[in-house]
Amino acid sequence: MFTKILIANRGEIACRVIKTARRMGIATVAVYSDADRDALHVEMADEAVHIGPAAAAEGYLVAEKIIDACKKTGAQAVHPGYGFLSERASFCEALEKEGIVFIGPKPKAINAMGDKIESKKFASAANVSTVPGYLGVIENAEHAEKIAAEIGYPVMIKASAGGGGKGMRIAWNQAEVRDGFDRARSEAKSSFGDDRVFVEKYVVDPRHIEIQVLADAHGNVVYLGERECSIQRRNQKVAEEAPSPFLDEATRAAMGEQSVALARAVDYQSAGTVEFIVDRDRNFYFLEMNTRLQVEHPVTELITGIDLVEQMIRVAAGEKLPFAQKDIKLNGWAVESRIYAEDPYRNFLPSIGRLTRYRPPQEGKAGNAIVRNDTGVFEGAEISMYYDPMIAKLCTWAPARAEAVEAMGEALDGFVVDGIEHNVPFLSALMKHPRWREGRLSTGFIAEEYPDGFAPVMPDESQRATLAAIALSASLIEANRRETFADRLRSATDPLRDHWCVRLGDDYIDVRLLDGLVTVPFEMEMDIAGETLNVVTDWRPGEPVWRGKVGKQPVTAQLRPILNGVRLDWQGLSVKSKVLTPRHAELDRLMPVKLPPDTSKLLLCPMPGLVVSIAVTVGQEVKAGETLAIVEAMKMENVLRAERDLVVGVINAKPGESLAVDAVIMEFA
């Protein structure tokens, strides 16, 4: 077994590998760029080596710098994580030449399966069912248009060396093929250093289901069940689960056996994932094989009890797998939510900045469930524009799917992240979505259920009562605390007011206190809109999470102070609240509403990013839908289009310039 390994990655996956290596008694070496000097993975590792500037192409993607770090520290092996150099055969070969072990498959398998074009050719030759498409390299946009017309729309344009949704576009017509081809090539070049793309038929209403395989150097190969990864946005996974609520035993076995056969055909060694598109009739088509550890591997670990990182390390050290296929049992259900630094209320645009507060839910047992949080950040850390926007991967396990989903909802409600925008509200709403809870999924789920983007969820009548109870209990506890201050000019002498009005957004809710005292723990009966509810909590002023019961319902919600009130976040809801006396509520209703400024004649930068190109000139007439500018953030290019016909008046930005959110890119006449 190795005594020291280097992790050629960053963020949560680097931390994840370090945890297993530490448990195995193996010393670890981290590498870091200028932007990651104070990152968590650097602090966790036994040693750390600086490898260059913030841009990935100048550090994490430079094989020579990784090898040099191995030589400096005496690392015997390299775990690549995912992304960066994890699927680059040349990196694996370069390590082998230096006598350093690559913790992953051999170059033969990476070459055969790591390249999407070659893997499809290989799968076709092995009689594996594949999606119709053109597997050759496409030279230009005209060639792409011709192929797309022959295959039939819609088509998927994909980077050959792609992954994580990068370099991928769906085209529904000829015009979108040309634009998609250019964008896919550009993203592929910047993310992977390889601009080759191919085109295949896009299967409408598909599910994305993948099989985890594990193989050693002694010919032993097993599959560890499947993962359902159909909840995607812009072809990037958002929530995953294992097993799939859609597969039956026969389909699972067929997909697993086919995956094992494919792994054997390329002499696969290590952990790998065979991805399939599954249609509504459970027909499955080989999509690609990822010759690395997947982001969503924790859900498989939770239902099998197998540490995939440990097995990768043991296989790389020459050990045999300690189990056979008959030993693999799927136990319970696991769900994963990817916590991203992105604004769900602004079409999930990236958000960067400092984490002024980061309080994930406590890991471990939670009733019948288990909570796990894989993360690479800490309170005070900075989310950089240079890398992937993932903050954490929150996972829950329970004996049944409904329990795992319920546990995930509660864990998300208690996941406190401040300082940046994040997608926790969306994920919380997803856990309550009827279609998700029923397991009726497809890769088009988000586009179909949120066609106009994700908007703040409006509370129904029962939710309004719960929110009013939380707001009033917090206000009473806070006021009671103030009464104990020794230096107050005077203390309250009047009895506790029994009639209150809670404003939630634009709603005013009457609340009457029926029985109980203001204490901590707090317990009081309230009449809210004609319903009697017993409210219990041990919340204390200053705590960001309110936990307790409203009626018989356990509630976990977040409280954030605002002017004269608190903002309540719960189950995807985000509501501003004020606790008022009836007279104050009467006057509050008369207050004028401040209207937002008119920005219809401005193109604002929707997120912090780098201007890739400006597609118009001053005085140019532009039609609705035409491209105005392209801004890159967190390895994704975002095309900004005209929302209506207009004339360009002033251009304030130029290519290569870094812009803050809401910076004015151009003004219209």
Number of H helices, E strands in the chain: 17, 40
Query: CA 293, CA 666: separation in Å to the nearest integer?
Result: 43
* Of 288, 403, 421, 632, catalytic: 288
Query: CA 195, CA 184: separation in Å to the nearest integer?
Result: 8
Handedness of CA 625, 626, 628, 634 (dihedral sign): positive
Query: What is residue 634's DSSP assignment?
Result: T
What value, to the nearest 5°, has the Cα angle with vertex 116 and ends 385 and 157? 70
Contact call for residues 252 and 242 (beta carbons, < 8 A) = no
Q: Which residues does 426 contact at the CB level (< 8 Å), separation at least 6?
A: 344, 348, 454, 572
Q: Which residues does 165 contact at the CB level (< 8 Å), separation at least 6?
A: 232, 234, 235, 236, 237
Q: Dihedral angle at the C-alpha atoms of 104, 109, 112, 115, nearest 10 degrees?
A: 0
- Calculate the alpha carbon distances from 201 to 170, 240, 285 in Å: 10, 24, 12
Cα 111 to its chain centre, rounded Å, is 28
Helix (H) / strand (E) containing 15: helix 11-23
Query: CA 149, CA 199: separation in Å to the nearest integer?
Result: 11
What value, to the nearest 5°, has the Cα angle with vertex 97 and ends 95 and 101? 40
Query: CA 582, CA 500: separation in Å to the nearest integer?
Result: 6
Burial call 573-599: b when 16+ CB within 10 Å, e when fewer: bbbbbbbbeeeebeeeeeeeeeeeeee
**154: preceding bond cis by omega (within 30 degrees):** yes
For the question of residue 43 being annotated catalytic, the response is no
* Concatenated DSSP letters of 451-517: TT---PBPP-HHHHHHHHHHHHHHHHHHHHHHHT-TT-SS---SPPP-EEEEEETTEEEEEEEEE--
Collapse the DSSP code of 616 into the 3-class scheme (helix H, G, I; strand E, B; otherwise coil) and give the result.
Answer: coil
Could you give the residue numbers annotated as active site? 288
